[in-house]
């Protein structure tokens, strides 16, 4: 039986701060083959959750560049996993900007439902959200400085272990 635990926001934030402007050699760098933003976001969420979901194809895991779930590196797949996960690993809900906390995720879309970038929230201070990201490397970049037609906010609710 799985138990629910709090998402460790401080751990996720600290990981993001450490690796936002560099790359953790334990993970492949996807910058040259489509972007590294969701790989980085997943690393941060893993730092805050401490557990992967090893379900083939539909889970959320990373062993190496050739053995990983689509949700580890794909923006829409990570969203789908976090929204529907009822088993082991992190889970989230779509939220408002006001609900964003350190370790939460933001996803940008092109306005047609295609979401393409996934920064990690570092701080939500006085109505200004600051993020960290890969692909377009950023550390404490204000969310308002991005140009995006569509946005969704993912608030991590907890972790099942």
pLDDT of residue 90: 98
Paired tokens of 76: 């829409």
Is residue 1 scored above 90 in pLDDT?
Answer: no
Is residue 144 scored above 90 in pLDDT?
Answer: yes
Domain boundaries, position 114: 4-160
Angle made by CA atoms 5, 45, 33, in degrees to the nearest 5: 155
Location of structure tokens 């200004």:
128
Q: Are 61 and 95 in contact (CB under 8 A)?
A: no
Domains: count for the chain: 1
> What average pLDDT does the chain have?
97
Angle made by CA atoms 115, 26, 146, in degrees to the nearest 5: 30
CA dist., res. 108 & res. 149, Å (int) = 8
26-75 pLDDT tens trace: 999 999 999 999 999 999 999 999 999 999 999 999 999 999 999 999 99
Task: Output the pTM of the full model.
Answer: 0.98
Specify the CATH number for the domain of residue 104. 3.90.1720
Give me the mean pLDDT over the 137-144 stretch: 98
Is residue 20 scored above 90 in pLDDT?
Answer: yes
């Amino acid at each position: 039986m799985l138990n629910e635990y709090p998402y460790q926001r401080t751990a996720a934030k600290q990981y993001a701060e450490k690796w936002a402007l560099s790359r953790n050699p334990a993970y492949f760098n996807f910058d040259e083959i489509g972007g590294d933003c969701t790989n980085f976001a997943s690393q941060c969420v893993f730092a805050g959750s401490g557990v992967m979901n090893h379900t083939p194809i539909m889970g959320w895991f990373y062993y190496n560049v050739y053995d990983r779930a689509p949700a580890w590196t794909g923006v829409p797949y990570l969203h789908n996993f976090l929204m529907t996960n009822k088993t082991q690993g992190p889970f989230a809900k779509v939220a408002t900007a006001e609900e964003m906390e350190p370790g939460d995720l933001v996803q940008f879309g092109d306005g047609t439902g295609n979401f393409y970038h996934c920064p990690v929230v570092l701080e939500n201070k006085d109505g200004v959200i600051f993020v960290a990201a890969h692909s377009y490397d950023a550390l404490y970049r204000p969310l308002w400085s991005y140009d995006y037609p569509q946005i969704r906010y993912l608030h991590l609710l907890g972790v099942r272990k």
